[in-house]
Every structure is written in structure tokens, then in C-alpha cells.
């Protein structure tokens, strides 16, 4: 058994560890173990690679790992739970960049002629890795609000993008024909980087979670392609695992919004919402602002309460005081539950993480399917910084961009209390007629201070 | 690369895709965010290719410099990815302990 065989065998072990790791993520009880197993898989694979007999540049490797670990570790420790989606997007972009750089290194360092298949996978790795890198950075800047969360569109956008794709394919063909054509190769990299930017800027902030998940899938695919180019089974296996998982999550999220992936990618969702601006289809009536005392009395008189948290709660860091309010009312005999829409937050399941952070008990959390029928028999629903996931237009207004999206049917409750920062529209940029209904009480202000005031008011 | 190697590679690719989809379908919605972050960390496995590219050349050249950058990026992905996943999962665990008390 040669050393190369042994390394390949260790790669197999690490692939098994990765799979066991993901398998253990299927329950909160074993998830931590799963992450450890996956980490062990990574360490074993790295150790095997470093043990390869034809390795020379250990000093460079150690310096690079030290720099990367310092940056990654610092960012991971500092990031707020609410900013997790941005962080994941950035890390993912790093993975894409790594794949593209490896393919570039292989292109530079390869001696002799390239096999056809190697050349094709190498080019795919550069293209997919490159667009994952810039696409993820744009997703990050959109989620952070550094650039507008609104879709950025311009005339003939899709024609321009299609043109760039065709040009990329043409240049790839040139390189494929003549690998010495390094100019074309580097031009492909530039186009791939540009494509990542152009593909993500027309996508609205509300759709960013889908894009982050899709880019995650792409980064896996890029790794797989690198694996083919280097003839490395570990990269092929693990890359396809990630690619498939990302695609699966993307599909789950699209289903939760009742949209197709094509619609997310090319629909420029929320770009123009003229129906409301024109006054044609917009909701009628007026929003009624209430005082904290009015809302507190309503809460005290309730027998049952469902709390619907949205990203507004997370952004205001109000999850802890929300749990305090829920706990207090629960002790006072109110039946308190939380309703969680699957796309609440900025990633699938993001809201569950945030409520877990605030120690909300599992048994009070309900998924949309499990609680939707109960709203009609509930006294009060408290909507905290959620907007699109409770917008009745999804059921009633065929002209609305979110028509058909499954929503939490909070408008069926006796009274709906909506905590909202201002009269402005939500993340998806769509007006919400729920706020204009007669049984809706609006409490304007920062979610955290509103709930704090509510808590002290109900305690009096 | 001979056709046999390509076919074996493609076989592995397809089977791993199915395994990935199958494994992920068992993960409940509650854990989707940690799952995403974990699979993101796993995609940092590109570090293996990066290490080879950096370490293989006998002296510093274009290949090893590109490899160096790739190792930095991949390490950010791997270390950061696993650490944030662990932080998120810590919350689920911490709450369980409190409930038992």
C-alpha cells in the first residue's frame, strides 16, 4: 500500500465523518456532536494532505493558515446572532474564492498538456468559484444595508447578462482549444467576477436568503469541479454533498414563499410597487397608533396570546425582553405561544436560532402549519417587526407580488397588535393592509423599547 | 486522464449528490440555519486543493502564491464557519440544560 493509497483511504474516512456530521445535525440533541464530527473530518483530511510526500512549502502553508484562522476566528467570535446570514455569506464567498484560486494555481503550475476533461472542470471551477465570491460579497453588502436592499435594475439587464455568459463560454472555448492562451483565461476570471455582481444586484433584500443558500450550493459545486481537475476524490465527494444540500435548502425556501427559483433570480421582486404608489390597489383606511397603556390592557385581558416575531424584533435585539414579556404573561395565566414563519429572519430557521438565544422554550414554538388554524380562536396576536409573513394580500390580492405565498393568518384573531418602527413598508417593499384593519392596534417605535414599556405597564 | 477515472469520478459525484440531499432532508426547520452554516464550513474543504497548490512547488512561484491566497480564504471559511456553527448550536444546548433544572 503506497502513501498515496493511504491518503486516499484517509480521505474516505473524512468523507464518512462529514456525512455523519450532517446526519447528526437532524436533531438539536446531537447537532453539536455532528459539528464536531464534521470538524474532525476536516482535520483528518488536512493532516493527510500535509503528510503527502511531495510537499515542500510548509512555511508558507503555516503562515497562510495562521492568517486565515485569525480572520475567521475573530469574525466568528464577534458576529451578532442577528448578523449570522451576512457572516455565512461572507465565509461562503471565501470558499468560492479559494476554489477559483486553486484552479488558477493548477492552471499556472500544470506541466504538460491538459486532458480535455481536466481543462473543462478547471474552467468551471474558476467561473463558478469567481461568481460565488463576488455574488456573496454583494449579498453581504445588501444584507448589511451597505448597498440598497432594493433590486437594482436597468434596461436590457438580462440581455447584458446573457451576453456576458456567452462571451465567457466563447473565451472558455478558446482556452480549451489552446491552454497557452493565458490572456483569455484571465479575462474569464474577470467576467466571472463581474457576473457574480450583476446576477445578485437585481435581487431584492427579501430574497437574499434564497441567494445565500444558492451561492452555498455553488461553492460546493466549485469544490467538486476543483476535485475533478485535481483528480481528488475527497473534494468531489464533499463538494457534491454541499452542492446538493444547498440546492435542497434553496428549494425549501422557494416553496415557503410559493415562488420558483427562476422567479427569484429574474423577477426583481419588489423593484416596482407602483400599484400602491398610484393609489389604485393600495389599502384603504388609516393606521391607528395606540399608546402603550392601551396595548397593555389588551394583553392583560387576554386568555390566549400568540407572538409572531419577525426580523424587526431581531434587528432591535428585542428577543430577550420579548421572552421576558411572554414569561410574565404566562405566569399571569395567559396561554402564550410563538408562531414562526419558515422565512422569518434572514435565513431559513434563523428565527429559531434567535429565540433559542433568548431561551424561549421549545414547546412554545410553533411552525406555521401547526398554528395557522388557531389564530381565529386567539384573543391577541402580537406581531413584532414582522411584515410580509403576515400580509393578508398574499391571500386576497392577486395583483400583489407576494400573492400565493403561505402566510400566518394573524388577521383572523380578535385583536392584532403590531409593533413597528415606522409607517414605512417592510423589507420586501410591499404595503400591508393588515395595518389598516379595524381590529389592528399599531404601536410605533423601536421594538425593544416598546416591549420594555409594555412589560413595565403590564406589571403595574 | 483516462475515461475510466472520469467515469469513477462522475459516479462518486452523482452518488454523493443523492447522499447529500437525503441527509439534508432529515434536518428540521429549527436547525436549517446551523445546517447552512455547517455545510458552508464543509465547502471550505477546498483547502485541500489549496494546500497542495501551495506546498507542491519546490520554490515560491505563481502557483504557490495563488495557493497561499487560496489557503488564507479557505481557512477563513473553515475556521469561521465551524466556529459560528458551534456558537449557534451552543444556544440550543444551553436552553435544554436550563429546562431540566
Q: What percent of chain A shows pLDDT beyond 90?
A: 50
Catalytic residue chosen out of the listed positions A388, A411, A438, A446: A388
Q: Rounded to a whole number, what is the distance in Å from the CA of B18 to chain A's nearest CA?
A: 7
Per-residue pLDDT at A49 exceeds 50: yes
* Residues A78, A204 contacting (CB under 8 angstroms): no
CB burial of A6-21 (b: ≥16 within 10 Å; e: otherwise) equals ebeebbeebbebbbbb
Domain boundaries, chain B: 3-91
d(CA B95, CA B101): 10
Indicate yes or no: CB of A249 within 8 angstroms of CB of B40. Answer: no
* Residue A192 pLDDT class (50, 70, 90 cuts): very high
Residues from chain B contacting residue A42 (CB–CB below 8 Å): 41-42, 44-45, 47, 78, 82
Element (H, E) at A366: strand A365-367
Indicate yes or no: CB of B39 within 8 angstroms of CB of A99. Answer: no
User: Does the beta carbon of A81 lie under 8 angstroms from any beta carbon of chain B?
Assistant: yes
* Residue A156 pLDDT class (50, 70, 90 cuts): confident
What number is the average pLDDT over the span A329-349? 85
Per-residue pLDDT at A431 exceeds 80: no
Active site residue A374: no
Please give the residue that has the higher pLDDT: either B95 or B70. B70
Q: A96: closest CA among A1, A5, A223?
A: A223
User: Does the beta carbon of A250 lie under 8 angstroms from any beta carbon of chain B?
Assistant: no
Q: Which of B36, B55, B94 sits opposite A58 (nearest CB)?
A: B55
* Beta bridge partners of residue A415, listed in sequence order: A380
Indicate yes or no: CB of B41 within 8 angstroms of CB of A42. Answer: yes
Residues from chain A contacting residue B97 (CB–CB below 8 Å): none
* Residue A401 pLDDT class (50, 70, 90 cuts): confident
Identify the weakest region by mean pLDDT among A105-114, A180-189, A316-325, A366-375. A105-114
User: Does the beta carbon of A47 lie under 8 angstroms from any beta carbon of chain B?
Assistant: no
Kindly list the distances between the CA atom of residue A235 and the CA atoms of A6, A226, A243, B47, B82, in Å, as whole numbers in the listed order: 16, 7, 12, 9, 18
Q: A243: closest CA among B83, B97, B17, B54?
A: B17
Query: What is the per-residue pLDDT for A180?
Result: 87
Per-residue cell: A192: 466571472
Indicate yes or no: CB of A91 within 8 angstroms of CB of B84. Answer: yes
Per-residue cell: A409: 393568518
* Residue A354 pLDDT class (50, 70, 90 cuts): confident
The predicted-structure confidence for A241-274, as pLDDT tens digits, reads as follows: 999 988 988 988 888 888 888 888 887 655 544 4
Query: What is the per-residue pLDDT for A110?
Result: 80
Indicate yes or no: CB of B86 within 8 angstroms of CB of A248. Answer: no
What number is the average pLDDT over the span A334-352? 84
Q: Which chain B residue is nearest to residue A41, measuring alpha carbons?
A: B42
Residues in chain A: 460
Indicate yes or no: CB of B80 within 8 angstroms of CB of A72. Answer: yes
Strand order in the sheet with A380-384: A365-367, A335-340, A304-309, A380-384, A415-420, A440-444
Query: What is the per-residue pLDDT for A387?
Result: 82
User: Does the beta carbon of A128 lie under 8 angstroms from any beta carbon of chain B?
Assistant: no
Per-residue pLDDT at A171 exceeds 60: yes
**Which range among A88-102, A296-310, B28-42 has the greatest average pLDDT?**
A88-102
Per-residue pLDDT at A309 exceeds 70: yes
Per-residue pLDDT at A146 exceeds 70: yes
What number is the average pLDDT over the span B67-84? 97
Residue holding cell 404566562?
A330
Q: Rounded to a whole number, what is the distance in Å from the CA of A287 to chain B's nearest CA?
A: 34
Per-residue pLDDT at B45 exceeds 60: yes
What number is the average pLDDT over the span B68-81? 97
Identify the weakest region by mean pLDDT among A202-206, A425-429, B20-24. A425-429
**Mean pLDDT, chain A, as a whole number?**
87
Q: Is A386 exposed, middle or buried (0-12, 13-18, 19+ CB in 10 A)?
A: buried
What number is the average pLDDT over the span A111-134? 91
d(CA A123, CA A171): 10
What is the full DSSP assignment across A285-339? S---B--HHHHHHHHHT-SEEEEEE-HHHHHTT-HHHHHHHHHHHHHTT-EEEEE
What number is the average pLDDT over the span B12-18? 91
What number is the average pLDDT over the span B11-21? 91
Query: What is the per-residue pLDDT for A272?
Result: 46
Indicate yes or no: CB of B40 within 8 angstroms of CB of A88. Answer: yes
Q: Which of B12, B60, B98 sits opposite A359 (nearest CB)?
A: B98
Indicate yes or no: CB of A57 within 8 angstroms of CB of B54. Answer: yes
The predicted-structure confidence for A279-304, as pLDDT tens digits, reads as follows: 334 555 667 778 888 899 999 889 99
Q: Rounded to a whole number, what is the distance in Å from the CA of B91 to chain A's nearest CA?
A: 5
Query: What is the per-residue pLDDT for A273?
Result: 44
Q: Which of B62, B92, B99 sits opposite A31 (nearest CB)?
A: B92
Q: Which of B24, B33, B45 sits opposite A45 (nearest CB)?
A: B45
Helices (H), chain B: 3-25, 32-42, 47-55, 62-75, 81-100
* Domain range A292-459, its CATH number among 3.40.50.1220, 1.10.3210.10, 3.20.20.70, 1.20.1630.10: 3.40.50.1220
Q: Which of B9, B17, B34 sits opposite A244 (nearest CB)?
A: B17
* Residue A275 pLDDT class (50, 70, 90 cuts): very low
Q: Rounded to a whole number, what is the distance in Å from the CA of B67 to chain A's nearest CA?
A: 6
Residues from chain A contacting residue B60 (CB–CB below 8 Å): 57, 60
Residues of chain A with CATH 3.40.50.1220: 292-459
Query: What is the per-residue pLDDT for A460?
Result: 80
Q: What percent of chain A shows pLDDT beyond 70?
A: 94
Q: Which of B35, B52, B75 sits opposite A72 (nearest CB)?
A: B75
Residues from chain A contacting residue B6 (CB–CB below 8 Å): 117
What number is the average pLDDT over the span B80-89? 94
Please give the residue that has the higher pLDDT: either A373 or A362. A373
Q: Which chain A residue is nearest to residue B32, measuring alpha carbons?
A: A349
User: Does the beta carbon of A33 lie under 8 angstroms from any beta carbon of chain B?
Assistant: no
d(CA A368, CA A256): 10
| B54 CB-near residues (< 8 Å, 6+ apart) | A57, A60, A61, A64, A105, B64, B67, B68, B70, B71
CA–CA–CA angle A436, A386, B40 (5° rounding): 155
Query: What is the per-residue pLDDT for A190?
Result: 96
Amino acid at each position: 500500500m503506497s502513501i498515496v493509497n493511504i491518503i486516499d483511504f484517509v480521505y474516505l474516512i473524512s468523507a464518512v465523518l462529514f456525512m455523519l456530521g450532517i446526519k447528526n445535525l437532524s436533531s438539536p440533541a446531537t447537532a453539536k456532536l455532528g459539528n464536531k464530527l464534521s470538524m474532525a473530518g476536516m482535520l483528518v483530511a488536512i493532516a493527510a494532505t500535509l503528510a503527502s510526500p511531495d510537499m515542500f512549502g510548509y512555511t508558507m502553508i503555516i503562515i497562510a493558515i495562521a492568517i486565515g484562522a485569525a480572520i475567521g476566528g475573530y469574525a466568528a467570535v464577534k458576529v451578532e446572532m442577528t448578523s449570522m446570514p451576512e457572516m455565512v455569506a461572507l465565509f461562503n464567498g471565501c470558499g468560492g474564492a479559494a476554489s477559483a484560486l486553486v484552479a488558477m494555481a493548477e492552471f499556472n503550475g500544470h506541466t504538460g498538456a491538459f486532458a480535455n476533461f481536466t481543462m473543462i472542470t478547471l474552467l468551471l471551477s474558476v467561473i463558478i468559484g469567481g461568481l460565488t465570491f463576488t455574488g456573496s460579497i454583494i449579498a453581504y453588502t445588501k444584507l448589511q444595508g451597505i448597498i440598497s436592499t432594493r433590486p437594482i435594475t436597468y434596461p436590457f439587464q438580462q440581455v447584458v447578462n446573457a451576453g456576458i455568459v456567452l462571451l465567457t463560454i466563447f473565451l472558455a472555448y478558446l482556452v480549451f482549444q489552446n491552454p497557452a492562451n493565458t490572456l483569455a483565461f484571465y479575462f474569464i476570471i474577470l467576467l466571472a467576477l463581474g457576473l457574480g455582481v450583476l446576477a445578485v444586484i437585481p435581487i431584492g433584500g427579501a430574497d437574499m436568503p434564497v441567494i445565500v443558500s444558492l451561492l452555498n450550493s455553488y461553492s460546493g459545486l466549485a469544490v467538486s469541479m476543483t476535485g475533478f481537475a485535481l483528480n481528488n476524490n475527497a473534494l468531489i465527494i464533499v463538494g457534491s454533498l454541499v452542492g446538493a444540500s444547498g440546492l435542497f435548502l434553496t428549494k425549501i425556501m422557494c416553496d415557503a414563499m410559493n415562488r420558483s427559483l427562476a422567479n427569484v433570480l429574474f423577477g426583481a421582486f419588489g423593484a416596482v410597487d407602483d400599484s400602491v404608489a398610484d393609489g389604485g390597489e393600495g389599502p384603504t383606511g388609516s393606521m391607528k397608533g395606540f399608546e402603550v397603556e392601551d396595548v397593555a390592557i389588551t394583553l392583560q385581558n387576554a386568555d390566549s396570546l400568540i407572538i409572531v416575531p419577525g426580523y424587526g424584533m431581531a434587528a432591535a435585539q428585542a428577543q430577550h425582553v420579548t421572552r421576558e414579556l411572554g414569561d410574565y404573561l404566562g405566569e399571569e395565566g395567559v396561554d402564550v405561544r410563538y408562531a414562526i414563519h419558515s422565512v422569518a429572519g434572514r435565513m431559513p430557521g434563523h428565527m429559531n436560532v434567535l429565540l433559542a438565544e433568548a431561551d424561549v422554550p421549545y414547546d412554545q414554538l410553533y411552525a406555521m402549519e401547526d398554528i395557522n388554524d388557531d389564530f381565529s380562536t386567539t384573543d391577541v396576536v402580537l406581531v413584532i417587526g414582522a411584515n410580509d409573513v403576515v400580509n393578508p394580500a398574499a391571500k386576497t390580492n392577486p395583483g400583489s407580488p407576494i400573492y400565493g405565498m403561505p402566510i400566518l393568518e394573524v388577521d383572523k384573531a380578535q385583536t392584532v397588535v403590531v409593533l413597528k418602527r415606522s409607517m414605512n413598508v417592510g423589507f420586501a417593499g410591499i404595503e400591508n393592509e393588515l395595518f389598516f384593519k379595524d381590529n389592528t392596534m399599531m404601536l410605533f417605535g423601536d421594538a425593544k423599547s416598546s416591549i420594555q414599556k409594555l412589560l413595565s405597564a403590564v406589571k403595574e | 486522464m483516462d475515461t475510466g477515472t472520469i467515469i469513477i469520478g462522475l459516479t462518486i459525484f452523482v452518488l454523493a449528490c443523492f447522499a447529500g440531499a437525503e441527509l439534508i432532508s432529515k434536518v428540521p426547520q429549527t436547525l436549517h440555519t446551523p445546517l447552512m452554516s455547517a455545510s458552508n464550513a464543509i465547502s471550505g474543504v477546498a483547502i485541500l486543493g489549496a494546500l497542495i497548490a501551495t506546498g507542491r512547488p519546490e520554490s515560491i512561484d505563481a502557483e504557490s502564491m495563488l495557493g497561499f491566497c487560496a489557503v488564507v480564504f479557505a481557512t477563513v471559511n473553515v475556521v469561521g464557519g465551524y466556529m459560528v456553527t458551534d456558537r449557534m448550536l451552543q444556544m440550543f444546548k444551553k436552553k435544554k440544560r436550563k429546562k431540566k433544572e
